[in-house]
Structure formats: C-alpha cells, structure tokens
Amino acid sequence: MDILFQIEFIIALVTFLSIVSMNVAKKNTTLVHTYLIQSLMLVSLLSLETYSEMSLEIGIVTLVMFVIKVIIVPQVLLRILKQHKASVSASTYLNVPMTLGSLILLCVFAQSYVFSEFFTTTPILRIFLIGSMLMSFFLTINRKGAISQIIGILSLENCIFAFGFFLHLKQAAALEIGMIFDVFFWIIISTIFVRMLIKHFGSIDVTQLRELKK
C-alpha cells in the first residue's frame, strides 16, 4: 500500500509540474504534448486502481480515457495546429515573470485555511492538486489563443478528476465513461469554433473577437 501511495504521489507531482510547464510554454505544440503527458498520469492512476481492485469496469473506463484523452484529443489539436501553422502562437496577457509570480501566489492560496479540510494528513497534496486546478483556470484566462484556452479547460477537467481520485470519490463506470465522452464532443465543438475563428480572422487569437463590436 505504501508503494502504491508513493506512485500516486509521484503522479500528482508530475501533474502539478505539467501545469506549471503549460503556463510558461511558448508553443502550442508544447501545450498539447504536455496535456498528453498529464492525461497519461490520469490513465496511470486508473490503471493502478484497476490492478489493486481487479475491476473490469474500471479497466474499461481506463481504456476509454486512454483512447480519447491520450490519442484522439491530442491528434485533433495537433492536426489543427499543423494545418493552420499556429504552432508558435501561444501568447499570454502576462509576461513570464508575472506569470510565475501568479503561480506562486496560487500555490500559497492552495495552502490557505480555505482548503484546510482537504488532505489534512498530507498537506503537500493540497499544492499538487488544488494548486493544479487553480493554475489550470489561470492558464485559461491568461492565454490569448483559442487552442491554449481549450487546453486550459481540458487540463482543469483532468485536475478535477485527479482531485476526486485522491478524495476517493467513486462514480458508476457508465457515468464516468459518459463524462469522458462529454469531453470528446466538447473538443469537437471547440475545434469547429477554432476553424471558424481562423477562417474569419486568420488567427486563433481570441482578442480578434473584439472586432465584432465594431
């Protein structure tokens, strides 16, 4: 059991570091690859649970998550970036020093009394998991590119899933599979929006939408 917890702890750490990397990354392709690594961490968590409980249902959920989050979604995003040559467009509202400063403040906030009810035995997990959720939300609002914002939302969904895992929140396998397919259909709608944005403005920069006011 101690070995399993250590592995889960490392997975939480990698998830946390992936969010930090996303916030300072300059290329959209880097964001997609980092999201892929983050999704692999979730698959690893469910694989450990499948092994420890010998559950066929959890195994099916793990397989569906792997196919959608690790294979399909990254490939769809990378294809859009390749078609429209938007691999470098990952601009932010704040520069790197201010972004890093904001991430530190979010980690400090994750350790505040507001979240004191969570992870009382292992406080460091509050930084890894709650901090990851806060930083994913920050990624969404700090990026100007539509692809970056989509990845920020997907990352937030991953972190919420990991948060529930460490809180031992159980859901029916059918419900979890349904939630994963919701992500799949959401990414389809998002890619349609990105293609329309590129078609009309020639860019994935959402600040171009201000022209609609004129």
191 pLDDT more than 90: no
pLDDT digits (tens, 9 = 90+) for 84-134: 665 555 677 888 889 999 999 998 888 887 777 766 557 788 888 888 999
Judge contact between 12 and 125, C-beta under 8 A.
Answer: yes
- Angle at which helix 146-166 crosses helix 28-53, to 10 degrees, equals 20
Listed by start position, the domains of the chain span 2-213
| Backbone torsion region of residue 95, taken as left when φ is above 0, otherwise alpha when ψ lies between -120 and 50, otherwise beta | beta
Please give the model's pTM, rounded to 2 decimal places.
Answer: 0.82
Rounded-to-integer distance, Cα 107 and Cα 109, Å: 5
Are 19 and 162 spatial neighbours (Cβ–Cβ below 8 Å)? no
Torsion sign across C-alpha atoms 135, 138, 143, 149: positive
Q: Which of 26, 42, 34 is nearest to 74 (CA)?
A: 34
DSSP state of 113: G
Taking only the tens place, the pLDDT of each residue in 8-50 is: 888 889 999 999 999 988 888 889 999 999 999 989 988 888 8
Burial class of residue 174 in the structure, from the number of CB atoms within 10 Å of its CB (0-12 exposed, 13-18 middle, 19+ buried): exposed
Confidence (pLDDT) at 171 = 63
Q: What pLDDT shows up at residue 211?
A: 52
